[in-house]
């Protein structure tokens, strides 16, 4: 049964293109546990996301993450943040921790992470350090029992677009960037040292096994309701953006018609004047009369579309595993009914 | 002086200790560091720790206390609820130097806990022990102190347990492990439940056949009875109804989400098509 299931692995962009400097992200037990602890402690209170830095090294095409530390909340100014980071990294260097800053992590609710601040931060990171990734940790999904840790990088086209051209529709068309090609997902694997494995062996004895089975819970409605509500909000936003864009198109069309009519009138008047041997009217700069309307930025709709996409994949995944659990209960019930009827026959 | 202290340790702490031990300088035999956490009514919950560089000579110990204080302040900026609750060391015994280090930590917090993790694997396993220091001696004669053990438990947040489950898949394998897909996890768990059911069935059959009866069987039998009775009692029709309505809901949601996905893709292609 497990072989059949592993064939359903059709996530998006699991195969990383060759020009990407990183093929796979390898994380060890310590940074993962630290991230989980930090995101859990932060997330239980405020709405803000928990963020932190990742430290590690690059080995061929593999990015190894060996440690991490959390960032304090963003009430302070940027300078204090920088001082904190520098002080933290100096301290860690004293105890022989890898001090190459290879990326950052952020917690997200329902895996909904695409936002403008994230794009900016990842862009700056990738600019300074070529191989950096952003690790997204999904708090809700992990609390339900499925560990969700994904690594993302900006695609080269997204980098180019951010740097130079801005987000006009023409730029999008030229670079062939859509909401799906903003980020590529880099596969994450876990590896532990032998000593950690010994520790894990011991911990598995000390931690009772019955408690880790919360994900077999059949109740789905509360989670689904939350997802659907978020998705509806996003779809509303997308709708607004689409209306804006349509309005802009209509305005451009109207403006073009006005321009055309004006040119016609001009030409007529000039012809009339020439017939009367008068000097033609000076050619005014047409652009000053009909100022070109600014093309709306396509960044926001793209981000919102990306979020809606993330939500829908999430919901689909959640439903599939919920259905699997329901089918298991159905089989159990059938078995119970069969033995029940067999007993009554005896 | 509270003797009934229980120490609850989060897995993060142990991972950090092992990692610091692996990264120690070539000439040190053991590593020490500070424990952070909170104390509440006789329960000390240790939720974080960091390593402090130190050097041990014959009669004295040099530890970088300034480093420890600064790192503690940095940590306090992220997590305001964690205080110093003690210190840790690798190795399996309490040495003379430990006493000196403990003196420093008692200044930071009154009943400092000393935790040792036996990374040198002298015993059969990686022993985790916790100590507190108690004064001994006679009132008029010599005074001294002794480290006495206190019980240690492992405590986890729910997500930490999930992380542990994934990490424990790397036990015994040399290479790396991918995080499991959701469906695979459900199927694995079902397999586990099946094997557990087999064990229970074998056990019950043995009892019925009259073999291997032991005094705890009564308690086990009662627990089994509780478990069987805790299955919700529904008539087959009710169950069918519940199952069908749930499946219908899920299918509808899947259909709607796929529809939304297709619509967004269309939306994007259409906006790209417009020439301005």
Q: Which residues of A touch B180 (CB under 8 A)?
A: 146-147
Give ipTM to 2 decimals. 0.81
Q: What percent of chain A has pLDDT over 70?
A: 77
Tokens of B217: 């069987």
Cβ neighbours around B50 below 10 Å, total: 22
Q: What percent of chain A has pLDDT over 90?
A: 0
Q: Which residues of A touch B247 (CB under 8 A)?
A: 323, 326
What is the Cα–Cα distance from B38 to B109, expressed in whole angstroms? 11
User: Which residues, in sequence order, are CB contacts of A161 under 8 Å at separation 6+?
Assistant: A167, A171, A172, A175, A177
Asked if A309 and A179 touch (Cβ cutoff 8 Å), the reply is: yes
Average pLDDT over residues A30-46: 78
Asked if B114 and B98 touch (Cβ cutoff 8 Å), the reply is: yes
Contact A195 B21 (CB under 8 A): yes
Output the pLDDT for position A14: 46
- Give the start-to-end residue ranges of the domains of chain A: 2-205, 230-345
Q: What percent of chain B has pLDDT over 90?
A: 0
For residues A258 and A206, which has the higher predicted lDDT (pLDDT)?
A258
- A50 in contact with B at a CB cutoff of 8 Å? no
Domain A2-205 has CATH 3.40.50.1820: no
B126 vs A202, A216, A324: nearest CB: A202
The torsion defined by the Cα of B211, B217, B223 and B228, in degrees rounded to 10, comes to 20
Contact B183 A8 (CB under 8 A): yes
CA distance B247 to chain A (A): 7
- Summarised one tens digit per residue, pLDDT across range B95-150 is 777 877 888 888 877 778 888 888 777 767 777 888 888 777 777 777 777 788 88
| CA closest to B81 among chain A residues | A41
Average pLDDT over residues A135-153: 78
Tokens of B47: 């939720």
User: Which residues, in sequence order, are CB contacts of A222 under 8 Å at separation 6+?
Assistant: none
Q: What's the pTM value of the predicted model, to 2 decimals?
A: 0.79
């Amino acid at each position: 049964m497990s072989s059949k299931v592993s064939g359903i692995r059709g996530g998006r962009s699991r195969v990383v293109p060759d020009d990407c400097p990183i093929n796979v992200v390898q994380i060890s037990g310590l940074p993962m546990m630290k991230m989980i602890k930090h995101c859990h402690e932060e997330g239980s209170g405020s709405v803000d996301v928990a963020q932190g830095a990742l430290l590690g090294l690059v080995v061929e095409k593999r990015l190894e993450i060996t440690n991490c530390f959390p960032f304090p909340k963003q009430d302070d100014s940027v300078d204090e943040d920088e001082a904190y980071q520098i002080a933290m990294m100096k301290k860690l260097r004293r105890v022989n921790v890898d001090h190459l800053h290879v990326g950052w992590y952020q917690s997200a609710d329902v895996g909904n992470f695409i936002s403008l601040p994230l794009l900016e931060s990842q862009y700056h990171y990738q600019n300074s350090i070529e191989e950096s990734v952003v690790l997204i940790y999904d708090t809700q999904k992990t609390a339900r029992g499925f560990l969700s840790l994904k690594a993302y990088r900006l695609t080269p086209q997204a980098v180019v677009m951010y740097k130079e051209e801005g987000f006009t529709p023409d730029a999008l068309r030229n670079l062939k960037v859509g909401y799906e090609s903003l980020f590529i997902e880099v596969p994450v694997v876990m590896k532990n040292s032998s000593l950690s494995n010994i520790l894990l062996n011991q911990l598995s004895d000390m931690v009772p096994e019955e408690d880790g089975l919360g994900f077999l819970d059949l109740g789905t409605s509360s989670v689904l309701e939350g997802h659907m509500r978020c998705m509806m909000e996003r779809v509303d936003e997308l709708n607004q953006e689409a209306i804006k864009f349509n309005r802009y198109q209509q305005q451009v069309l109207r403006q073009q018609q006005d321009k055309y009519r004006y040119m016609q009138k001009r030409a007529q008047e000039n012809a009339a004047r020439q017939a009367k041997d008068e000097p033609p009217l000076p050619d005014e700069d047409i652009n000053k009369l009909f100022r070109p309307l600014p093309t709306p930025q396509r960044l926001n709709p793209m981000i919102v579309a990306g979020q809606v996409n993330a939500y829908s994949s999430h919901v689909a995944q959640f439903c599939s595993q919920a259905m699997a659990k329901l089918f298991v209960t159905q089989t159990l019930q059938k078995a119970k009914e069969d033995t029940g009827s067999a007993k009554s026959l005896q | 002086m509270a003797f009934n202290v229980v120490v609850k340790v989060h897995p993060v702490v142990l991972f950090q200790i092992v990692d610091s031990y692996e990264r120690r300088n070539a000439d040190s035999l053991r590593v020490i560091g500070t424990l952070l956490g909170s104390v509440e009514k006789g329960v000390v919950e240790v939720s974080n720790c960091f390593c402090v560089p130190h050097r041990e000579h014959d009669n004295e110990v040099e530890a970088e206390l300034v480093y420890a204080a600064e790192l503690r302040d940095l940590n306090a900026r992220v997590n305001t609820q964690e205080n110093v609750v003690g210190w840790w060391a690798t190795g399996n015994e309490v040495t003379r130097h430990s006493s000196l280090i403990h003196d420093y930590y008692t200044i930071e917090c009154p009943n400092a806990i000393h935790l040792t993790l036996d990374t040198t694997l002298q015993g059969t396993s990686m022993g985790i022990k916790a100590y507190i220091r108690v004064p001994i001696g006679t009132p008029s004669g010599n005074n001294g102190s002794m480290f006495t053990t206190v019980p240690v438990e492992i405590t986890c947040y729910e997500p930490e347990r999930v992380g542990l489950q994934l990490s424990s898949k790397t036990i015994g394998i040399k290479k790396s492990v991918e995080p499991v897909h959701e469906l695979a996890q459900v199927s694995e768990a079902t397999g586990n439940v099946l094997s557990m059911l087999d064990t229970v069935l074998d056990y019950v059959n043995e009892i019925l056949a009259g073999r291997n009866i032991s005094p705890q069987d009564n308690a086990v039998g009662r627990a089994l009875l509780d478990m069987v009775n805790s299955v919700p009692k529904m008539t087959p029709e009710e169950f069918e109804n519940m199952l069908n309505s749930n499946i219908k809901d899920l299918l509808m949601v899947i259909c709607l989400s796929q529809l939304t996905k297709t619509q967004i893709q269309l939306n994007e292609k259409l906006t790209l098509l417009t020439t301005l």
